[in-house]
Chains A and B, each alone.
Chain A
Amino acid sequence: MKDSTTARLPLCAIAVLAVAMWPAPAAAHLNSTGMGPIYDGLMHFATSPEDLVPALALALLAGLRGASHGRRALFVLPGAWLLGGLLGLTASAANGSSVVSSLWFVLLGGLLAADAKLSLRVLTALAACFGFYHGYLNGAGMGPAGSAAAALLGLDFAVFALVALAAALVVRLRAAWARIAVRVAGSWIAASGLLLLGWAARGG
């Protein structure tokens, strides 16, 4: 018995060595493997300032107008985004206009900076148009329909979470300086949009 164990040792060592040396991708970086479609969609939104920043502006604007506006934006924006995205999945390709993207920055940032007294109806229309437009572009730019739908869902969760957090944060702000700080952020978004518009018009 002892002899046979000793005889098996080199064989085991070779097997262990072979497994250890087996060439396989390390997959140490998530940008080569992804995190699964849901999280990929979520991260796509979180790392795309062209989607994130105007959505943040809309959430802050809704928050400034009060809880009812915040609640409306919380459901209308992700809903429209999802609807647009699902429709976008059926499109073969869509190239978003950088001029239109810039105008969303200018419009939403400008309204936020001006603390525009939007009615609930106008805010709903604004959230629906903006969400549908960006959702459509996201959907059209995604890959195969199966995993893309899941990614779209992840992206929508991110939009929902952003609106919930940002609007709720602003709704409870009472100090004048804090509300002014939110409006200053709006002016920065509008200013970025104006510069972006210049880039877009120049074709850069």
Chain B
Amino acid sequence: MTTERRQIATRALAALVVVWPEAALAHAQQGEAVGFLTGFRHPISGLDHVLAMVAVGLWGAQLGAPAIWLLPVTFPIVMALGGMLGLLGVPLPGIEYGIAASAILLGAAVMLEVRPPLAASAALVGFFAIFHGHAHGTELPAGQSALLYSMGFVIATGCLHALGIGIGTVHRWAWGQTLLRVAGGAVAAGGVLFLWRAFA
């Protein structure tokens, strides 16, 4: 290799190193912020989770007090319990089926405006929350700030419930009740699609 070619190769290599994209990570808090945002994005990144969590809020709004706040309180706590089981490696069979079934049954409950006793509705929501939490627990990435990740995860779940409750406030009008039933039907249809995919 001639001297001229070596110079060209050296300059090209230097230019490549200079323009190589890389995160600066100049501030110590960078990793933690990523932990919160990653946790926050996790529940809203899967439509199957989103449908079920919004449906919990819709059903709570339909049932009124005290279910309107009891169901969205039950879901995150039991979901976190499921997440803990997932983190500990405790196996849970049929997770995907459970998640799809949660969308179907919760959507159907909204569509048919089912009004079971409060304990029964909380138990149903709690039962399905375990599947959602376990799925998230087994997928948690390594190297993140555990606390900020967990907080982001739970807050996002709560926001999805709040979204459902917000939409559910239309229940006070006759047209709103119909709209909610249609929305419940859409959630149930989405659940059927996810169940189909789980079997396929």
Name A residues whose Cβ lies closer than 8 Å to a Cβ of B: 29, 31, 47, 49-50, 53, 98, 113, 180, 183-184, 187-188, 190-202, 204
A49 near B77 with CB under 8 A, answer no
- Nearest 6 interchain pairs by C-beta: A198-B87, A198-B84, A191-B80, A195-B150, A194-B80, A199-B146
Bound form: Cα–Cα A194–B147 in Å? 10
Tell me which residues across on chain A come within 8 A of B168, comparing CB atoms. none
Q: From residue A202, how far is it (CB to closest CB) to chain B in Å?
A: 5
Q: Is the CB of A194 within 8 A of B146?
A: no
Q: List residues of chain B with CB within 8 A of the CB of A53.
A: 147, 151
Tell me, yes or no, whether B73 is within 8 Å of chain A by CB. yes
Question: Closest Cβ of chain B: how far from A170's Cβ, in Å?
Answer: 16
Q: Is the CB of B73 within 8 A of A199?
A: no
**The one of A29, A187, A192, A201 that contacts B147, using a Cβ cutoff of 8 Å:** A192
Q: Which residues of A contact B154 (CB under 8 A)?
A: 188, 191-192, 195
Assembly CA distance A171 to B89 (angstroms): 42
Contact B83 A198 (CB under 8 A): yes
Residues of B within 8 A of A49 (CB): 147-148, 151
B191 at the interface (CB under 8 A from A): no
- Tell me which residues across on chain A come within 8 A of B27, comparing CB atoms: 29, 31
Query: How far apart sit A98 and B153, CA to CA, in the bound complex (Å)?
Result: 19
- Nearest Cβ on chain B to A124's Cβ, whole angstroms: 27
Residues on B close to A: CB < 8 A? 27-29, 69, 72-73, 76-77, 79-81, 83-89, 137, 140, 142, 146-151, 153-155, 157-158
Expressed in whole angstroms, the Cα–Cα distance for A198 and B79 within the complex equals 12
- CB nearest to B36 among chain A residues: A49
User: Bound state CA distance, A199 and B35, in angstroms?
Assistant: 13
**Can you name 30 A-B pairs with beta carbons within 8 Å?**
A47-B29, A49-B147, A53-B147, A53-B151, A113-B73, A113-B77, A184-B69, A184-B73, A187-B76, A188-B76, A188-B154, A188-B155, A188-B158, A190-B77, A191-B154, A192-B151, A193-B80, A194-B77, A194-B80, A195-B149, A196-B150, A198-B83, A198-B85, A198-B87, A198-B137, A199-B87, A199-B150, A201-B87, A201-B88, A202-B88
**Contact B158–A50 (Cβ < 8 Å):** no
Q: Apart from A188-B155, A195-B153, what 20 extra A-B contacts exist at CB < 8 Å? A: A49-B148, A53-B147, A53-B151, A180-B69, A187-B77, A188-B151, A191-B76, A191-B79, A192-B80, A192-B147, A192-B150, A194-B77, A194-B83, A195-B84, A195-B146, A195-B150, A197-B84, A201-B84, A202-B87, A204-B142
